[in-house]
Structure 1
Amino acid sequence: DVGIARSICFLAALTVALLAAVSLRRREWPAWAGAGVALAVALALLLPSTLLQVGLRDATQPWFYTNDSTYQIELAGDLLLDGQNPYGHDYRASGMERFYSFDGSASEEVREREVALEHYAYFPGTAIVSAIWRLLPRPYDDFRVFVVLMTLAGFLATLAFRAPLGWRLAIAAFVVANPIAVRSAWFGQNDAPSITLMILAFALVSRGRYRWAAASLAGAVLLKQFAVVAIPFLALMLVKRQADRMELRRCALVFGGVLGAGVLPFLLADPVAFYDDTVKFGAGTYKIVGYGLSGLLIRAGILADREGSYPFAIVALISWLPLTAWLALQQHRARELWPGAAAFSISILVLLFIGRTFNNYYLVWPMMGAAVAALLYVGEAREGGARPSG
């Protein structure tokens, strides 16, 4: 029954409307009141639908009322707990094949058709976190509970920026309660943990906490490959903040240490499987889906079918890479910090568009880049430009 979840959302909207009416009379509110209202609205939008899905899944079977990415991440965590490598693992008899039949049946046709059953496309941070999360009692071991908590943590990450409180609250509400974030929480799309850590990395740079920012960005990369695009732009932000060579070296060591701690065990265990699953599968094996360039080429008849080859590497080399280099140059020439986040937003949008797969919820990445750029802009406008650390 989705009526309860819908009713709570409408009550949240009614509460905001009533507070807006009161604000016409009372213009001054304590800071905690604004933060509390924004967070309460986010909880009203996120929790009921997610907990409903978690409960329905717990009452039936693990392949119902979930998403294939969430389900496979949970299976990867279980494999780690059993001392097995999720990369190169055959998932065709794991229960995940029953998800793709949509009725819970195990079909040989599905096992042969769904190539995702032979790959684990996500970076190691997902499996590591899942292994820890799976230690919780049911149904709280559902990975979507972690996704919801990290979505809400995005609210706190946004508040960490140097910007007027009103702007931070408004953008924080947008970060955690936008339609993509709300749907991703209950549906089981796993972008929020990486996005939250990426936002936190930008916030920490703005506050001069460079090594913590490097660690946060490394965590973001471990949880989702898309965060790799933020690396050059955040590095240039450190340069613009006049971080010296020693500090830049320390940041690089922190970033490499955190990333290496997550990646190296799996890379050393089976480098071929790790590459095939995390790079080759997404760039050249997975079927073409979505609204990007590859889908347009299919519709235009230039590409034969959705299972065929698509020259992603060539397209990226002649389009995305020069654009990203140009954006980095413009960021370097700019006096402020906010062009770095704006450049990231443009770069990730183009990369996603030319990719083999471009799902609609991928748009949350450039959206969050734009949100970060707005926070940096209003913060710098108040302080009079990019301010180097003392």
Structure 2
Amino acid sequence: MRAALSKMTSPTLYLAVIGGLQLGLLWLLRERFGIWLPLAGTVVFAGLLLALVRVPGRWGVKLLGLFLLVALTTAGPMVESMVTRSQVGLTIEHDGLVQTEAAVDRVIAGQRIYGVDWSNTQVARIPWTTTAGPNPALRHFVYDPLPVLLGIPFRLVTGAAGLPFDYRIVLLLFLALGVAGVAVLPAPPSRRFMITVALYLNPLISTYLWTGRNDIAFVVMVVLSLVCLTRGRVRYASLALGIALALKPFAVLAVPFLALALWKRWNAPTPTLPQRGREKVGRGREIWVLSGALLVMPALVTILPFFLVDAAAFWRDTVLYTSGGVADAYPIGGDGFGAFLLATGIIHRNTDSFPFWILQLLATAVVLWFNGRAFLRRPTAGRWMAGFAAVLLAFTFFARFFNDNYVAVILALILTVPAFGDVPAVSRDELQGHAAGSSVAA
């Protein structure tokens, strides 16, 4: 059984199936993206697959080949879409991309981005068929400030150079950061290969990335937080997760697993020397305080100025709009429990109000309880990621809407679990080093 599972979760199979699907999708979309990207991708894909099957070792070369394949088949269509847009205007762009770009311009001009009308922007040109009437996003801006703030330097540079600004420039940098982050995971190169394929050579992620959806940003930072944790870099792990939280609130669901990892780290048994015990407690408190500060700082620093300008508008756009707390809330839909309630007639209209938060709270608490206990029994990166993916599934499935991109992100994260596997998420290197230092001092 274990041997069969190992074969099902091998680098060769991941590349053949997941990478093959991405390549096949590019061939299907060759009229949009051109023939050169799928053609070049096919050559690299075939060579890389052959190397995995026939050449033992040489993982450095194989990983470089994978990076090239990601550049061609994931980043390439993004660049092609940016060029096409500069020539013919909007084609496949997501309304969130267009609205974020408009928000960048408003912030540069010193204007508000919450509680304002977007109907005079290009957002109004994006088709909307989910509900009768105009897109409710024309009256709400659902994203937190950090995604907008990250776009400002690129908007200024492209403007000064006389070039069109496309927010996918920012997403391309997150893609590069994500690939680089996985490359330093303290795991065998075959595992890093699989994670890179699952996240960054995966049509579940790429399809939405090409249109400018920004899920890649928070996913990269959550994964980077876990990588830092496996390397014993607790402060960097906290900061990375804090940035993820400031990018998208879904990242808050990973906070309990970071907290459990810290608790496990600083409550590990040590020799019962009084001095060493006191130093351990002091060191643990210091790490807890610093980690907590780094975790909340990105969201606090980026959100507070906008919140102070108009707290009611910020709350209405980012919380009430998505939870059904306003008359023109985002409609119930997607593939989750809300769609089931609509199909069975329990909810009559997709614009109705319903207390989904109760179901979300209950489901999240139950899933977190079981996965948290599993992580404490065996604190590995695989269980950390499995727990986060499971809690994210519980929270989003019972939400007002369970969009297709949420499904895609969760499935992609689940695919990384076998590769993260038994990599320790709680490294005691710092603790052991501190204990050794205390022993010398004694």
Q: What TM-score comes out, normalization by structure 1 length?
A: 0.89
Q: Identify which of 262, 285, 294 aligns with 1:238.
A: 262
Residue 159 of structure 1 corresponds to: 183
- TM-fit CA distance, 1:251: 0.5
Aligned partner of 1:221 in structure 2 is 245
Equivalent residue letter for 1:314: I
2:49 equivalent to 1:11? no
Compared with structure 1, are the counterparts of its residues 292 and 6 closer, same or farther at alpha carbon in structure 2 (3 Å cutoff)?
Answer: farther
Q: Percent identity?
A: 24
Cα drift, residue 64 of structure 1: 4.3
Q: Answer yes or no: is the 8 Å Cα contact 2:199–2:205 preserved in 1.
A: yes
Write out aligned runs for 1:1-390 (5 A).
Answer: 2-3=30-31, 5-21=34-50, 26-29=55-58, 31-61=59-89, 63-100=90-127, 113-137=134-158, 139=163, 141-242=165-266, 244-284=284-324, 285-371=329-415, 373-380=417-424, 386-390=426-430
Aligned partners of 2:128, 2:262: CA distance in 1, in Å?
A: 49
Distance 1:330 1:47, change over 3 A: closer
2:152 maps to a residue whose letter is: A
Count of residue correspondences: 377
Q: Deviations over 1:82-107 (max 9, x none)?
A: 111211111122232122379xxxxx
Query: Could you give the per-residue CA deviations for residues 309-343 of structure 1, whole angstroms, max 9, x where no partner exists?
Result: 12211212333233323432332343545322211
Q: How far does the alpha carbon of each residue in 1:140-166 deviate from its partner, in whole angstroms, 9 at most, with x for none? A: 620112212312321111122211011
Q: Measured at CA, do residues 65 and 368 of structure 1 come closer, stay the same or move farther in structure 2, by a change above 3 Å?
A: closer
Task: Report the CA distance between 1:261 and its aligned residue.
Answer: 0.7
CA distance in 1, matches of 2:50, 2:417: 31
- Rg comparison, structure with higher value: 2
**CA shift at 1:237, angstroms?**
1.3
Q: Deviations over 1:49-71 (max 9, x none)?
A: 2222212221234x544110000
C-alpha distance in 2 between matches for 1:314 and 1:22? 51
Distance 2:234 2:57 in 1: 35
The ranges of structure 1 where at least 4 consecutive aligned residues each deviate by more than 6 angstroms after the TM superposition are none
Alpha-carbon shift at residue 35 of structure 1 (Å): 1.8
Structure 1 distance, partners of 2:371, 2:95, is 35
Secondary structure of 2:421 counterpart: helix
Deviations 1:246-287 (A, max 9, x none): 101111011222221111111111111111111111111101
State whether residues 222 and 262 of structure 1, in contact with CA within 8 Å, keep that contact through their aligned partners in structure 2. Answer: yes
Match of 1:52, as an amino acid? E
Aligned to 1:106: none
Distance 1:19 1:333 in 2: 38
Cα distance between partner residues in 2 of 1:330 and 1:316: 21
Cα distance in structure 2, aligned partners of 1:362 and 1:24 = 33
Q: Do 2:229 and 2:426's aligned partners in 1 also have CA atoms closer than 8 Å?
A: no
Aligned equivalents of 1:337, 1:149: Cα separation in 2:
25
**226-235 or 134-143, which moves further after superposition?**
134-143
From the superposition, tell whether residues 337 and 89 of structure 1 become closer, same or farther in structure 2 (CA, over 3 Å): same
Structure 2 SS opposite 1:142? coil
Evaluate the alpha carbon distance shift between residue 28 and residue 324 of structure 1 in structure 2; reply closer, same or farther with a 3 A threshold: closer
Which structure 2 residue ranges, 5 or more long, are not aligned? 1-28, 268-283, 431-442
Distance 1:336 1:219 in 2: 23
* Whole-angstrom distance in 2 between the partners of 1:290 and 1:207: 38
Residue 24 (structure 1) shift: 5.4
Give the conservation status (yes or no) of the 8 Å contact 2:86–2:164.
no
1:193-220 residue CA offsets vs partner (Å, 9 max, x unmatched):
1111111001101111111111111111
3-state SS of paired residue (1:100): coil
Structure 1 residues 336 and 146: alpha-carbon distance in aligned structure 2, compared to 1, 3 A threshold: closer
Equivalents in 1 of 2:141, 2:259: separation in Å? Answer: 30
Contact 1:205/1:238 (<8 A) preserved:
no
The question of whether the paired residues in 1 share the 8 Å contact of 2:356 and 2:398 is answered with yes
Describe the shift of the 1:239–1:140 C-alpha distance in structure 2 as closer, same or farther (beyond 3 A).
Answer: farther
- State how far apart, in whole Å, the 1-side matches of 2:342 and 2:354 are: 10
Contiguous gaps of at least 5 residues in structure 1: 103-108
User: 1: CA distance between counterparts of 2:181 and 2:379?
Assistant: 24
Note closer, same or farther for the CA distance 1:25–1:77 as it changes in structure 2 (3 Å cut): closer
